[in-house]
Structure 1
Amino acid sequence: MRYRHLLLFTLGIFFTSHLGAQVSITGETKKWHKITLTVDGPKTKEDDRSNPFLHYRMDVTLRHDSATYVVPGYFAADGDAGESGASSGNQWRAHFAPDRTGEWTYTISFRAGSNVAVTDNHNAGEPLPNLNGLRGAFTVSPTDKTGKDLRGKGRLLFHGRQYPVWAETGEIFFKCGTDAPENLLSYADFDGTFHDDGFRDELVKTWEPHLRDWNAGDPTWQDGKGKALIGAVNYLASEGLNSFSFLTLNIAGDDENVFPYVSHDNYERFDVSKLDQWETVFTHGERLGMFLHFKMSEVENQGLLDGGDLGTQRKLYYRELIARFGHHLALNWNVGEENGKWRGREETPVQTTSQRLAMARYFYENDPYRHHVVIHDGQEFYDIMGPESKYTGLSLQTNQPNFTNVYPDIRYWLDLSKKEDLKWAVAIDEPGDAQHSLVPDADNTEQQHDNARQNALWGGLLAGAWGVEWYFGYKHAHSDLSCQDFRSRDLFWDQCRYQQEFLEDQRLPLADMSPMNKTTSGENDWVLAQEGEVYLILLKRGEQGENILSVPAGEYTVSLFNPRTGKYDFRARPQGAKDGGIRLPVSEEEVGMDWVVLVRGV
């Protein structure tokens, strides 16, 4: 014991007896809502000689009669840092989103010691008197949320599923959102040193075009900051999109303005107030039905932390993200955008197979909610497809401006993952190519939006992907780095919304449907079907003449949907199978364009 006290003194860690220490529980104690447990812990600061992020460890074990979660805590400065800008204080907290009603008990572990935050031994270090072992209970009631608010839908569940489902409702989720700009969080209203540190300061965004989309009652911080970015999220939701994507670390990357740290060159101390402000944006998105796509590195900086290893810096980074944001109900951890060896020129060390596997394993072992964990190409995925892999899916990009390799790429990786018994969920997160991809409406010439709609939006769905996110090519205005106005693609977002409305209306049993392209006589049709029950068919542009769908004998209904307008030419028209087939309709309007046909058994 004397040695332990000497060690703590040497590290500069001092603590006093917290007689009668209390746990404050805030937030609505309802199922799926964020509940926050806060304690008065050691008083410290971001730049304290003894690093508060590394040399203290708070964990909260929460138990229900049928579940146990161990949730990491974090240093919260004065407890209101997003508003106050504080970098010091004695508030330590953990967030929890319960998945069951009834009584939950909690036990707090609070320990100090050298690098204790990143050790694999949860009992390492010295227990802090009157904090370690604090216990209590609270009662959780049912959620009262409805509509888009994800607290009415529950956590999004992936493991072993091609299509994720909402834990509360059991409904399948099909995402459609933005993969760009990757530097969404490079925002002038956030606290931090990135505004004027000499690293690509000209790329810091104001999001001013979306200031008009902020609504009275929406969140802000520090006397009205944040309105424009909150407005941008509002706009996406108003267009029917249900996800957005962002890098959380792009030091040494294309932008260099997004990082969770206090400075550009210190990877072990976090900017508490900035991360609180990120949380304000993420929470607002969740209440508008948004899936959060965390991209935690890019190709240029994959080896920035620990040379690519799962070492002190990388574990600390991942732990802070889990502690602060893991309670959100719909997210994935993308451990590396364009990861691995594929370009031939590398700014930092290229991560190896063992390093790529170790990142996923860390989240499997430390994220209490076991959120979806993916990796992005770059390097193809063969090396991470063994039985030891803890990935639950893939994040794909393609390289053709007309999106023609979206469908075959999705099919290839889905089929291979099933062959390897991995049961992965695959999303197409950068369809198209780097130069163009989803062009602005102003540049919509030569059928770019038609190609995007047919080959990626509907092609992704028909191939079996669980969603699509849209990249903005660098040869156009409002690009992956420069975009500050999502209205630059307003006309295309309408077509995305039409697909979402179609899926909401039809409630297709996607988990029971498989590609069956040979069931039609058309050579290029895409068919996703549950044989004899339901057939979703994309009739491609320019295809004319009689087209027969082969089906078992019986009665069916046929609907013809226009993916460009969101309207049905007709709905649920009765039709019997004749000679083992149904004649697929051809619209007399907009001949030569793509159409969606839905055939259901009666």
Structure 2
Amino acid sequence: MTSAVAQVSPHITGELKKWHSISLTFDGPTVSETDKVNPFVNYQLNAVFTHRKTKTQYKVPGFFAADGDAANSGASSGNKWRVIFTPDQEGAWDWKISFKTAPFIAVSERVNSGYSVGSIDNSKGHFIVKSSDKGYPDFRERGRLEYVNKPYLKFAESGDYFIKAGPDSPENLLSYRDFDGSFHQDGFKDDLVKSWQAHEQDWKSGDPVWQGDKGKGLIGALNYIASKGMNSISFLTLNIMGDDQNVFPYTDYHTYDRFDVSKLAQWDIVFSHAQKLGLFLHFKTQEAENQGLLDNGGLGLERQLYYRELIARFGHHLALNWNMGEENGNWYPKHQTLPQTRIQRLSMARYFHEQDPYNHHVVIHNGNFFDDLTGADSYYTGVSLQTSLKDFSSIHGTVKRIRSWPITNGRPFAVAVDEPGDAQFALEPDIDNPSHDDARMNGLWGALTAGAWGTEWYFGYKRAHSDLTAQDWRTRDKFWTQAKHALDFFSMIDVDYQDAESQDEALVNGWALAKRGEFYIGYVKNAEKDLAIKLPKGIANYSIKWFNPRNGGQLQLGTIKQVSVDETLQYYFQTVKRNIGKPTSEIDKDWVVLIERL
């Protein structure tokens, strides 16, 4: 595909295009996952990629890749070592390799103290990157999703901001029978291993598989949820000692410094397909029960190895966030492992800030609330919010409260509501709750009009197809349709919602996300009520359009199409109240209203 001028020429795979993942695979020392000299601990492979024209530079960690095709071969040994890079500019990119060996060098910052690994160390080369040819919804058309010091994430290529919606459940999505590994029959909750059989019908010819025809169920599940217009999935990558206990990157349940190369390669096939479908990846790196499993919660050998492998193997994907812990902190009476302290919570985010070459969004989930993570020493860029009321009614106020916090480190939190509702029921199956009124009104629109950048939906534990047992996303099909309507609304309006904030005081009998005097995205639960907008003094006209959150469709005109403000009428007041009328149908239902300055 390309020629590389180097002492050692790697095998380069992947399309040499902007925003595409490009793999450099080297022939290095032959090792095994189980070698006495641990290859994950005692080798460190890094590559520095430099854009020749702009001098933009990325330092990308590499990893042991067994025989180079472990997803299909199941290999646990070999001589292939790999770096995966995602270029953000066209043109010539130069690369240089550092490959060292020494005791514990994988987590050492003193790389020069190690010994060079053959002629790979200090090898150099280049390749030429062209423009991408991918189309929507593939993230390669939009570029990397970045935190840009706003409460919303932005695509680097298209410049669009992103609002997410999708399932938060099952949290054990990766507990899948078609993945390699010891978890299937290791005696730890093996009955929870999934087949995803209900979604095998959604697999399509040409979709990825491994080892013949493995993977069809989970790949089909991704196809289904993307076909519903959802753009996010969520999953734990480590649940040893947790609720499921079948998802971990290691060779077995009790070993925390040796990684199952073939299983992780199969995970990456799934993640790559998700990104092609436009599905954001929410990596939840641990949960409440195991927050002290690695290094007693600290940032020692085990935790750094774990994080390094996540970044090296999966950080090349464009749209993701790293979640430092589900239900994290010291907040319930009987912790299974030592709960993490503030310093440990801060240290995790700092590690990703310093080691992830692409600076992906870094969040944490409550548990402990987020008040101790807002200082100048915090590298969190957002929070993953869980609530606890069955009717979802606390969501709007909680998001609004976090969004109102003073910014002390220059980084306002981007707030996502990733586990709305109570633990028992949350988002129920359609058969139990076909209308999903509370979830739609209080959960979905309550979050979005308070300034959340998205929602993910937890399934509870008291219904069939629960947070642990679910393997058929069609059980909530009717709700995915309603969530898609919300995404459609934000894609069709042409306002700077990323600069808006909650201004409920401006909308009588409703909630409002607004940029004062420019636009108001309002939500009313019952349009029969007296509805009015309080507008700032001045001379201006505002259009009024309605959107049906239950059935979707286009923006509609209501009984009042426009209101005007005349400064001469406001001599004593800063705002004036104007009746906004009503939609022309189903006025006893909930509606979204867009009030926009002309």
Same fold (TM over 0.5): yes
Q: Which residue of 2 aligns with 1:201?
A: 190
Superposed counterparts of 1:97-496, under 5 Å:
97-418=86-407, 421-444=410-433, 449-496=436-483
| Shift in Å, 1:553 | 3.2
How many Å separate the matches in 1 of 2:288 and 2:128?
Answer: 45
Q: Once the two structures are superposed, what CA deviation does each residue of 1:106-142 show, in whole Å capped at 9, x if it has no partner?
A: 0000000101101122323111231100000111111
| Residue identity in the other structure for 2:34 | D
Q: 1:304 to 1:417 in 2, by over 3 A?
A: farther
State the SS of the aligned residue for 1:31.
coil
| Shift in Å, 1:544 | 1.7
Of residues 513, 530, 540, the one that matches 2:515 is 530
Q: 1:131 to 1:343 in 2, by over 3 A?
A: same
| Shift in Å, 1:75 | 0.3
Contact 1:560-1:585 within 8 A present in 2 as well = no
Contact 2:233-2:279 within 8 A present in 1 as well = yes
How many Å separate the matches in 1 of 2:103 and 2:406?
Answer: 41
How many Å separate the matches in 1 of 2:208 and 2:450?
Answer: 39
Of residues 553, 558, 572, the one that matches 1:567 is 553
Contact 1:520-1:550 within 8 A present in 2 as well = no
| Shift in Å, 1:556 | 2.5
Q: Once the two structures are superposed, what CA deviation does each residue of 1:294-352 show, in whole Å capped at 9, x if it has no partner?
A: 00000000000111110000000000000000000011100110000001111011111
| Residue identity in the other structure for 1:556 | Y
Instruction: State whether structure 2 residue 49 is matched by structure 1 residue 53.
Output: no
Task: Select between 154-163 and 263-272 the one with higher mean Cα deviation.
Answer: 154-163
State the SS of the aligned residue for 1:496.
helix
How many Å separate the matches in 2 of 1:585 and 1:39?
Answer: 67
How many Å separate the matches in 1 of 2:9 and 2:126?
Answer: 12
How many Å separate the matches in 2 of 1:585 and 1:224?
Answer: 58
Of residues 486, 506, 509, the one that matches 1:499 is 486
Instruction: Give % identity.
Output: 51
Task: Select between 252-261 and 374-383 the one with higher mean Cα deviation.
Answer: 374-383
How many Å separate the matches in 2 of 1:20 and 1:546?
Answer: 72
Q: 1:316 to 1:417 in 2, by over 3 A?
A: farther
Q: Which residue of 2 aligns with 1:15?
A: none
Of residues 539, 544, 549, the one that matches 1:558 is 544
Q: Once the two structures are superposed, what CA deviation does each residue of 1:376-398 show, in whole Å capped at 9, x if it has no partner?
A: 10011222222111111111100
| Residue identity in the other structure for 1:424 | F
State the SS of the aligned residue for 2:170.
coil
How many Å separate the matches in 1 of 2:100 and 2:355?
Answer: 17
Q: Which residue of 1 aligns with 2:3?
A: none
Q: 1:528 to 1:77 in 2, by over 3 A?
A: same
| Residue identity in the other structure for 1:51 | N
Instruction: State whether structure 2 residue 60 is matched by structure 1 residue 71.
Output: yes
Contact 2:240-2:248 within 8 A present in 1 as well = yes
Q: Once the two structures are superposed, what CA deviation does each residue of 1:481-500 show, in whole Å capped at 9, x if it has no partner?
A: 00010001000000011111
Q: Which residue of 2 aligns with 1:7?
A: none
| Shift in Å, 1:541 | 3.0
| Shift in Å, 1:41 | 0.5
State the SS of the aligned residue for 1:280.
helix
State the SS of the aligned residue for 2:452.
coil
How many Å separate the matches in 1 of 2:412 and 2:351?
Answer: 20
Instruction: State whether structure 2 residue 80 is matched by structure 1 residue 91.
Output: yes
Contact 2:563-2:580 within 8 A present in 1 as well = no
| Shift in Å, 1:417 | 4.8
How many Å separate the matches in 2 of 1:367 and 1:421?
Answer: 20
State the SS of the aligned residue for 1:123.
helix
Q: Which residue of 1 aligns with 2:589?
A: 593
How many Å separate the matches in 2 of 1:177 and 1:371?
Answer: 19
Q: Once the two structures are superposed, what CA deviation does each residue of 1:142-172 show, in whole Å capped at 9, x if it has no partner?
A: 1111210000100011141211100001111
How many Å separate the matches in 2 of 1:257 and 1:124?
Answer: 38
Instruction: State whether structure 2 residue 37 is matched by structure 1 residue 37.
Output: no
Q: Which residue of 2 aligns with 1:6?
A: none
Instruction: State whether structure 2 residue 535 is matched by structure 1 residue 539.
Output: no
How many Å separate the matches in 2 of 1:408 and 1:574?
Answer: 30
| Residue identity in the other structure for 1:596 | V
Task: Select between 406-415 and 580-589 the one with higher mean Cα deviation.
Answer: 580-589
Contact 2:150-2:411 within 8 A present in 1 as well = no
| Shift in Å, 1:569 | 6.7
| Residue identity in the other structure for 2:460 | G
Total equivalences in the alignment:
580
| Shift in Å, 1:548 | 4.2
Contact 1:25-1:38 within 8 A present in 2 as well = yes
| Residue identity in the other structure for 1:25 | I
| Shift in Å, 1:21 | 2.9
State the SS of the aligned residue for 1:151.
helix
| Residue identity in the other structure for 2:132 | T
Contact 1:159-1:372 within 8 A present in 2 as well = no
Contact 1:555-1:574 within 8 A present in 2 as well = no
Contact 1:41-1:92 within 8 A present in 2 as well = yes
Contact 1:22-1:40 within 8 A present in 2 as well = no
Of residues 11, 18, 21, the one that matches 2:8 is 21
State the SS of the aligned residue for 2:520.
strand
| Shift in Å, 1:421 | 4.3
| Shift in Å, 1:25 | 1.4
Contact 2:26-2:81 within 8 A present in 1 as well = yes
Q: Once the two structures are superposed, what CA deviation does each residue of 1:21-71 show, in whole Å capped at 9, x if it has no partner?
A: 321211111110000011000001110111111111100011113311110
How many Å separate the matches in 1 of 2:327 and 2:531?
Answer: 44
Q: 1:88 to 1:548 in 2, by over 3 A?
A: closer
Q: Once the two structures are superposed, what CA deviation does each residue of 1:452-498 show, in whole Å capped at 9, x if it has no partner?
A: 11111111111011111100010111111000100010000000111
Contact 2:545-2:561 within 8 A present in 1 as well = no
Contact 1:61-1:68 within 8 A present in 2 as well = yes
Contact 1:549-1:583 within 8 A present in 2 as well = no
How many Å separate the matches in 2 of 1:422 and 1:540?
Answer: 33
Structure 1 unaligned blocks of 5 or more: 1-18
State the SS of the aligned residue for 1:33.
coil
State the SS of the aligned residue for 1:274.
helix
| Shift in Å, 1:509 | 0.9
| Residue identity in the other structure for 2:532 | N
| Residue identity in the other structure for 1:592 | D
| Residue identity in the other structure for 1:33 | H
Q: 1:168 to 1:50 in 2, by over 3 A?
A: same
| Shift in Å, 1:419 | 6.0
Contact 2:507-2:531 within 8 A present in 1 as well = no
Q: Once the two structures are superposed, what CA deviation does each residue of 1:545-591 show, in whole Å capped at 9, x if it has no partner?
A: 35344355322222111100003472498423156454223235333
State the SS of the aligned residue for 2:449.
helix
How many Å separate the matches in 1 of 2:407 and 2:482?
Answer: 31
Contact 2:425-2:461 within 8 A present in 1 as well = yes
How many Å separate the matches in 1 of 2:546 and 2:408?
Answer: 35
Give the superposed CA RMSD: 1.6
Q: Give the structure-2-normalised TM-score.
A: 0.94
